């Protein structure tokens, strides 16, 4: 079962118009929320970001966030999802194809759950990352459906035997194709500030919060490719992979190919944060 216009329906009964603007223009926004033991993780942060992304493209949520969440929780129960995620998207709706916003299109909300057969979180296995030019637009802070720059980046990594792409604009490292990037130096974290050049990851925010509680200093500042390659530790974060160590970037092996001490501590703290949600 899936959600269409906030109703739980059989997937085969749902049809999307060929002129839906999400389909034709990527004119819409989305979120991915992790499900642990049947419960939504950091739900409020994700819903706030969804509202913000929608607002930035002058789209209002077609249903109140509280009602969307209610339906999603029902869907999780209905589909009996223990570990996985829910993907939801809102498009500007269907209208005769023309670039400006249509006057009377109805936004379309869809959501579905995905159950994980294997936990995708990279706990001890290091990630191999490839550097690539950040060719994306200048509103990476909006979680929009336009992901071609990210898709091409990830494919380039895959084609070359890497797991993730780390983007840079000139000499400045921005973020991964679907992750935020942190470097660790002398026990301090540095990550790109939450500007228009990155998506302000929910996991990024949780990690910053955890680090501050653990008295690990965090600087939200730009850093260069050289600083990335010479960092004591590098890790990436996202809803699906949580906190994952990066042990190789291009041909440079980091930290002897091992998970660094600070990364390991943050992974542990992250797991504790998840347990709190599960046991609530
Ligand atoms: N940056 C980009 C470009 C992303 O697509 C994502 C997640 O999909 C992230 C960062 C991490 O965000 P979050 O922690 O909210 O999953």
What atom in ligand 1 is closest to the CA of residue 140?
3
Query: Does any ligand 1 atom lie closer than 6 A to the CB of residue 28?
Result: no
Query: Does any ligand 1 atom lie closer than 6 A to the CB of residue 126?
Result: no
Query: Does any ligand 1 atom lie closer than 6 A to the CB of residue 203?
Result: yes
Q: Residues with Cβ < 8 Å from 177, sequence gap 6 or more?
A: 150, 151, 153, 154, 157, 164, 165, 167
pTM of the entire structure? Answer: 0.97
CA atoms of 213 and 98, how far apart (whole Å) = 50
| Among protein residues, the one whose CA lies closest to atom 9 of ligand 1 | 179
Q: For domain 2-115, which CATH number applies: 3.90.700.10, 1.20.1200.10, 3.30.9.10, 3.30.470.10?
A: 3.30.470.10
pLDDT of residue 10: 97
> Ligand 1 mean position to 103 CA, how many Å?
32
CA 22 to chain centre: 19
Query: Does any ligand 1 atom lie closer than 6 A to the CB of residue 89?
Result: no
**φ and ψ of 195, to 5 deg:** -105, -170
- DSSP states of 53-79: HHHHTT---SS-HHHHHHHHHHHHHHH
| Among protein residues, the one whose CA lies closest to atom 6 of ligand 1 | 178
| Among protein residues, the one whose CA lies closest to atom 7 of ligand 1 | 178
pLDDT of residue 118: 79
Query: Does any ligand 1 atom lie closer than 6 A to the CB of residue 92?
Result: no
Domain 127-278, what fold?
D-amino Acid Aminotransferase; Chain A, domain 2 (3.20.10)
pLDDT of residue 278: 83
**Sequence spans of domains, the chain:** 2-115, 127-278
pLDDT tens track of the chain, all 280 residues?
999 999 999 999 999 999 999 999 999 999 999 999 999 999 999 999 999 999 999 999 999 999 999 999 999 999 999 999 999 999 999 999 999 999 989 999 999 999 998 776 656 679 999 999 999 999 999 999 999 999 999 999 999 999 999 999 999 999 999 999 999 999 999 999 999 999 999 999 999 999 999 999 999 999 999 999 999 999 999 999 999 999 999 999 999 999 999 999 999 999 999 999 888 7
CA 3 to chain centre: 21
Residues in the chain: 280
pLDDT of residue 125: 78
CA atoms of 63 and 6, how far apart (whole Å) = 7
Query: Does any ligand 1 atom lie closer than 6 A to the CB of residue 53?
Result: no
pLDDT of residue 78: 97
> Ligand 1 mean position to 24 CA, how many Å?
23
Give catalytic residues, as residue numbers: 143
């Amino acid at each position: 079962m899936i959600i269409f216009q906030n109703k739980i329906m059989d997937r085969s009964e749902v049809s999307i118009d060929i002129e839906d603007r999400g389909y034709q223009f990527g004119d819409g926004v989305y979120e991915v929320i992790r499900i642990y033991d049947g419960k939504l993780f950091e739900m409020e942060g994700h819903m706030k970001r969804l509202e913000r992304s929608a607002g930035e493209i002058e789209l209002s949520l077609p249903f109140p966030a509280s009602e969307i969440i209610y339906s999603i929780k029902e869907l999780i129960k209905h589909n009996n999802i223990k570990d996985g995620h829910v993907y939801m998207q809102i498009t500007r709706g269907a209208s005769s194809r023309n670039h400006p916003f249509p006057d009377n299109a109805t936004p379309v909300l869809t959501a579905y759950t995905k159950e994980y057969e294997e936990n995708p979180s990279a706990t001890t296995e290091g990630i191999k990352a490839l550097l690539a030019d950040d060719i994306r637009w200048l509103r990476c802070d909006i979680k929009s459906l336009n992901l071609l720059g990210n898709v091409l980046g990830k494919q380039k990594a895959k084609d070359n035997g890497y797991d993730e792409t780390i983007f840079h604009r000139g000499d400045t490292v921005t973020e991964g194709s679907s992750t935020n990037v942190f470097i660790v130096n002398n026990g301090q974290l540095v990550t790109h500030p939450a500007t228009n050049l990155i998506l302000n990851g929910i996991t990024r925010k949780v990690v910053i919060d955890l680090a501050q509680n653990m008295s690990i200093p965090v600087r939200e500042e730009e850093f260069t490719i050289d600083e990335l390659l010479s960092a004591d530790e590098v890790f990436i974060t996202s809803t699906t992979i949580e906190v994952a160590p990066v042990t190789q970037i291009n041909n440079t092996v980091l930290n002897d190919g091992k998970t660094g001490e600070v990364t390991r501590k943050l992974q542990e703290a992250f797991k504790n944060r998840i347990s709190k949600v599960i046991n609530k």
